[in-house]
Amino acid sequence: MCGIAGYTYHDTGRSADRQVLAAMNAAITHRGPDSDGFHFDGPTGIAMRRLAIIDVASGRQPISNEDGSIWIVFNGEIYNHPALRAELEKRGHIFKTHSDTESIVHAYEEYGDDCVRHLRGMFAFAIWDAPKRRLFIARDRLGKKPLYYAEHDGALLFGSELKCLLKYPGFPREMNPEAVHHYLTLQYVPDPLTGFRAAKKLPPAHTLVCENGRISTRRYWDIDFRTKESGDDLREHVRTKIEEAVRIRLMSEVPLGAHLSGGIDSSVVVGLMAGMSSRPVKTFSIGFEEAAFNETDHARAVAEKFGTEHQEFIVAPSAMEVLGPLGAHFDEPFADSAAIPLWYLSKLTRQHVTVALNGDGGDEAFAGYQRYYADAVANFYGLVPSFLRNAADALFSLLPVNGNKPVEKSPAAALRKLGHAASFGSGASVVRWGSYFSEAEKAALYTGDFAKVMEPSHGAMEQTYAAALAGTRVDRTLYTDLHHYLPGALLVKADRVTMAHSLEARSPFLDHELMELAARLPVNWKIRGTTTKWILRDLFRDFLPERIAGRGKLGFSVPLARWFAGPNLDAVRDLLGSGARCHGFLSAENISKLIEQNRSGRFDHGKKIWALLVLENWLRSYAL
């Protein structure tokens, strides 16, 4: 696991500057504290920071092919590299190391740009092809590993994080209003946008080529839900593929463990790890002093069942304490509040292991969110005559929401969302149920002509839903989530927060072969009534503790509304009060109203306030 950075001038007469590249690379030392490496060739310089996991002794980067004409810097893990290496050796390639990185450079020699189709794992890499004077960049299928790029000063710049680009002399820091507009609804900035006008994200499953002064991108993979499988052996095939996805992710030369939430996904991963390991698995969980948000008893039951070496951390997390550190690692607005507990969990986990497996991706593979069945309810509610619906919405708005309990456990919160969810179609399910600011709320919040001509933030999702390689509503929603919410929010959170602590996160459920198989499963193997992830629960019902297989989705929930009404209230008022930079385009009066409504306890504006705090911190940190 590493971080990468580099640039290439379009003018081949210019030479890459060592000091500039060193500064870009040093900005991501946290991603690879063990060593660094550089390769220069005229107008091009590529660099990396290494967190040594595989072939610790000899796998330093950059790595070249046999004659030194092709060089690579790589971030990620290639789990099929032993088989890929054997195939390439049969074809005459000679290896100097045992690292997975070297398999990629030889695969590029053999297969060209299609080398990405031969890789199973998580990756972002850059290959400098000296004979062709060509830079080839690729990102993994589902978007586990990040890649940012920009054209500036007659060069293509790239890096694992935005801070790499910001270290290039004179890189423009102009705020991207469109990015902020979408962020306020989505909690993240969707690709290819970033918070800065001058920078872009390379989307998942894409390659980028810079050659002869021209830059082009191409999608090389997509997931297809249209073909369905059936038969008696399908159940066993699903379990076997899950087991395989876990097994190949146990490859490591350094201490390895797992994050254990007590949900079904991480519990399955830990249980399978225990059966494959000769020693007790090291597991890590986090709990909170607020009893309603503390789920450690479920994790403890799984740890006892499988005899793990369990570390349980009980913390009193502070949103204001981690606001600055989180902002420094995301480099752009990002407001998924689950990053707060993950910050503490990753910090404590890294004291014991270097690699941690998790259950990320299980919800997207097997339909784990309540909204996958709640969308049908919202669609039905939308058919109710408007006068009845308006009356019901008015009644629901009076229902008290308890900020001291997770919103997932609040029927009142769900009913309050019903009218909003029914106001537009199924195409943007995550915005229906999980948006921070609606389009109407943003319009009331904006001042002047800010975002005057911006498109609705759910528009891109609806387009993806309409064009999905899928038939049913549930499959179309899963397809949309895999293209938007998963890579835009969940995987960004997991990568930045774990790598902030030099901790590698591995996610068996994000194995692309497992994802492809899950896409071919009938919908009723995933959703049955209000039961989510039916096949996963059924397959592992006798394997897991009884209370785990039937648990619903909770995730990392934090009591933001209570914090911002009580212990953090003064800090919130100070940061978002007089002199706040966001007042340049957001209404100070409306922000104050949100804060006071939340303080009253009748409204839960915790996520909205957190989004504004993150935005304000970003504006101040980058002098925007």
What is the spatial distance between Cα 76 and Cα 32, in angstroms, rounded to a whole number?
11
- Report the candidate in 552, 557, 141, 144 with the shortest Cα–Cα distance to residue 367: 552
Strand order in the sheet with 206-211: 63-64, 70-78, 121-129, 134-139, 206-211, 214-219
pLDDT digits (tens, 9 = 90+) for 258-299: 999 889 999 999 999 999 998 999 999 988 776 555 578 889
- Cα–Cα distances (Å) from 362 to 153, 546, 610, in that order, read 43, 19, 27
- Cis omega (within 30 of 0) for bond into 341: no
- In the numeric block, the tokens 């299980």 are attached to 362
What count of other Cβ atoms lies within 10 Å of the Cβ of residue 192?
A: 14
What is the spatial distance between Cα 484 and Cα 345, in angstroms, rounded to a whole number?
26
Q: Which amino acid is at 346?
A: S
What 3-state DSSP class applies to 46? strand
- Report the candidate in 185, 192, 212 with the shortest Cα–Cα distance to residue 146: 192
Domains, the chain, in order of start with CATH, read 2-219 (3.60.20.10), 234-367+479-549 (3.40.50.620), 559-624 (no CATH)
- Cα–Cα distances (Å) from 82 to 54, 77, 142, in that order, read 12, 12, 22
What is the spatial distance between Cα 510 and Cα 223, in angstroms, rounded to a whole number?
12
Termini Cα distance of the chain: 32
- Report the candidate in 149, 186, 194, 191 with the shortest Cα–Cα distance to residue 24: 149
Alpha helical stretches, state H, 15-147: 18-26, 81-90, 100-111
pLDDT digits (tens, 9 = 90+) for 417-447: 776 777 778 899 999 988 899 999 999 999 9
- Cα–Cα distances (Å) from 624 to 69, 165, 591, in that order, read 42, 16, 19
Instruction: Dig out the tokens for 264 from the structure.
Output: 């079904």
Residues 596 and 566: beta-carbon distance below 8 Å: no
What 3-state DSSP class applies to 134? strand
What count of other Cβ atoms lies within 10 Å of the Cβ of residue 509?
A: 25
188 burial class (0-12, 13-18, 19+ CB within 10 angstroms)? buried
- How many Å is the Cα radius of gyration of the chain? 24
Low-confidence ranges of the chain (pLDDT < 70): 1, 54-59, 290-294, 317, 386-387, 389-390, 392-416, 419, 550-556
Q: ∠ CA 595-599-604 to the nearest 5 degrees?
A: 80
At 547 the pLDDT is 79
Q: Count the alpha carbons within 13 Å of 179 in the hemisphere toward its beta carbon.
A: 25
Active-site annotation, residues:
2
Residues 49 and 32: beta-carbon distance below 8 Å: yes
> Pairing state of beta strands 63-64 and 70-78?
antiparallel
- In the numeric block, the tokens 């997390």 are attached to 317
What count of other Cβ atoms lies within 10 Å of the Cβ of residue 473?
A: 18
What is the spatial distance between Cα 76 and Cα 78, in angstroms, rounded to a whole number?
7
At 426 the pLDDT is 83
What is the spatial distance between Cα 148 and Cα 22, in angstroms, rounded to a whole number?
17
Q: Which amino acid is at 347?
A: K
What is the spatial distance between Cα 56 and Cα 98, in angstroms, rounded to a whole number?
9
Query: Which phi and psi angles does 455 have, rounded to 5°?
Result: -80, 155
Burial 223-259 (b: 16+ CB within 10 A, else e): bebeeeeeeeebeeebbebbebbbebbbbbeeebbbb
Query: Which phi and psi angles does 262 have, rounded to 5°?
Result: 95, -5
What is the spatial distance between Cα 424 and Cα 208, in angstroms, rounded to a whole number?
36
What is the spatial distance between Cα 528 and Cα 326, in angstroms, rounded to a whole number?
38
Alpha helical stretches, state H, 423-490: 429-434, 439-445, 459-466, 473-483, 485
Adjacent-strand bridge partners of 346: none
What is the spatial distance between Cα 225 and Cα 130, in angstroms, rounded to a whole number?
40
What is the spatial distance between Cα 361 and Cα 490, in angstroms, rounded to a whole number?
9
Q: Which amino acid is at 185?
A: T
- Cα–Cα distances (Å) from 607 to 22, 184, 186, 491, 594, in that order, read 38, 10, 11, 19, 11
At 418 the pLDDT is 73
Residues 261 and 285: beta-carbon distance below 8 Å: yes
Q: What is the pTM of this model?
A: 0.94
